[in-house]
Amino acid sequence: MKIGTFLSTATLALGLVGIGPAQATPWTFTTSGKIFTGVDGLGLFGPADGSLVGLDYSLTTRLADPTANANQGSNSTVSHSYGFSSDPGGTSAASFSATVNGHTVTREFVVPDRNSAYVYSYGEVDGNVEKDGGPTKFSASQQVYSLSNDFVPGIGLFQSIEYLFKSSDDRGFAFFDIFNYATSTDAANWTTFEGTPERFVLNAPAGPTTTVPEPTALALLGLGFAGLRLARRRC
């Protein structure tokens, strides 16, 4: 192989490396509002055993790659992705994050016991993450729906929606639970709350994303193709 052809081929290869592989699109669902019942037995958001009633909350459930679940798809009314740790084909990594009283608690799971994401065309979104981590059980679940407002513009998990509730027509709930049953079932080993959503955000890019080529990678690709053309003309 001539030196010019070799250098052009090497430059082209470097440019291709710079583009990188496709990246998974996460599904992220957040509700925020007021807690109507709850106790902080573990002291995650303030003093241990303190009441959480009346406090503002924000709860996010996230599936890292819904297409990794064995059960996922769409039809005319719903798009869904749900998985169990026993499902063949693996399940999507998942996490949840809860913020109350200025304190945030986050848990991430490579293989949760179960996770789910649903988006309905007639105005409903819900998501769930649950993991029994040995002596501790973690669960975060939430749902929003409307009696008359179709706040979902179309079918599909990967769309962006931000919506403020209308108290007369819209409904929803948020449930957060961390339970440490290693020693007892006493309330002191349990932090839990239920909240009423006032706002929700479904924030995911439209469709799978791919890595955008860096300017340097594009330049290398250009040089590689130009070099190959010159090498062919000299042959």
> What are the boundaries of each domain within the chain?
25-210
Distance CA 109, CA 7 (A): 45
- Contact (CB, 8 A) for 84 and 96: no
**What is the residue-level pLDDT of the chain in tens, covering all 235 positions?**
454 444 344 443 434 344 444 467 899 999 999 999 999 999 999 998 899 999 999 999 999 999 999 999 999 899 999 999 888 877 899 999 999 999 999 999 998 999 999 999 888 999 999 999 878 899 999 999 988 888 888 788 888 889 899 878 899 999 999 988 765 555 568 899 999 999 999 975 443 333 334 444 444 435 444 454 544 555 5
Residue 104 has which token pair? 């945030």
DSSP 43-72: -SSSSTTEE-TT-EEEEEEEES-GGGSSEE
Q: Please name which of 134, 140, 84 lies closest in space to residue 112, comparing C-alpha atoms.
A: 84
Count of CB atoms within 10 A of residue 40's CB?
A: 24
Q: What's the pTM value of the predicted model, to 2 decimals? A: 0.76
- Contact (CB, 8 A) for 182 and 138: no
